[in-house]
Amino acid sequence: MTFLHAIVPVYVLAGFIVGALVGITGVGGGALMTPVLIFFGIPPITAVGTDLLYASLTKTGGTLVHGYNRTVDWVVVVRLATGSIPAAALTLFTLYELNIDSATSHNLITKVLGAALLLTALSLFLRKPLIRFYASRVGELDAELVRKLTIVAGAALGVLVSISSVGAGAIGVTVLILLYPKLPTARIVGSDIAHAVPLTLAAGLGHWALGSIDWPLLATLLIGSLPGIFVGSNLSARLPDSAVRMTMAFTLLAVCAKLLLY
């Protein structure tokens, strides 16, 4: 079977839609694509691994657009990566050393993915109340403390993303809004997308070593996602994302319930 015959139109469409949403809001890579792939019958471990490389390559395109538009704070990106890359490597090494059997890994990934989606959906629903509560109770943090907390947040994302491919988007954006309240939304989205590139690449390469990448599927998704994220990234500074965020949050809750009850 040639590659052209292997292309599934619904995967191309899914790649475009998710790519556009990621470009606009910084949210949706793992949170939407991994559950979609699982529901299409892709094994969870393969869905996670393939989605990680998909996210890395897709968000590279988004980073180029955001970088051109000067909506990336590279200091924030480096701080997040300082925590996330070592944490991702350690998590993947631990999974390799434990040599978990396929049934156990299926259950682990499904449950962690469900919990991650729940956390992601809640962060989307409660973003504004969280920010108001944080501002009233915590206020502006010391610059050095912000630097340290950013690294710690990156480490937490590294663990979560390596296991479930979820978290780099919605959770990452929410954390950045709390830690950097004066940073414009477009720069928060751009910085989150830029940070996701090395994180998902490192985690994806780890899954490649574990043999959990479907290369034809990855190529098919990218056919849709690269144009999608280009369109979304150019629209990110012009469109309100509240309606998209709420739609995604309800979708994620439905997917989460399905996974946790699986």
Q: At what angle do helices 29-39 and 143-164 cross, to 10 degrees?
A: 10
Identify the residue with better confidence: 86 or 187: 86
Banded pLDDT at 78 (limits 50, 70, 90):
very high
**Cα separation, 102 vs 50, whole angstroms:** 17
Most trustworthy range by pLDDT among 80-89, 167-176, 195-204: 80-89
Question: Span 66-87, mean pLDDT?
Answer: 92
Q: What is the pLDDT of residue 237?
A: 63
Residues 46 and 214: beta-carbon distance below 8 Å: yes
Q: How many CB atoms lie within 10 A of CB 136?
A: 8
Residues 106 and 45: beta-carbon distance below 8 Å: yes
Question: Span 49-64, mean pLDDT?
Answer: 87
Rounded to the nearest integer, the mean pLDDT of the chain is 80
B/e letters for 156-183, b = 16+ CB within 10 Å, e = fewer, are bbbbbbbbbbbbbbbbbbbbbbbbbeee
pLDDT at 110 over 80: no
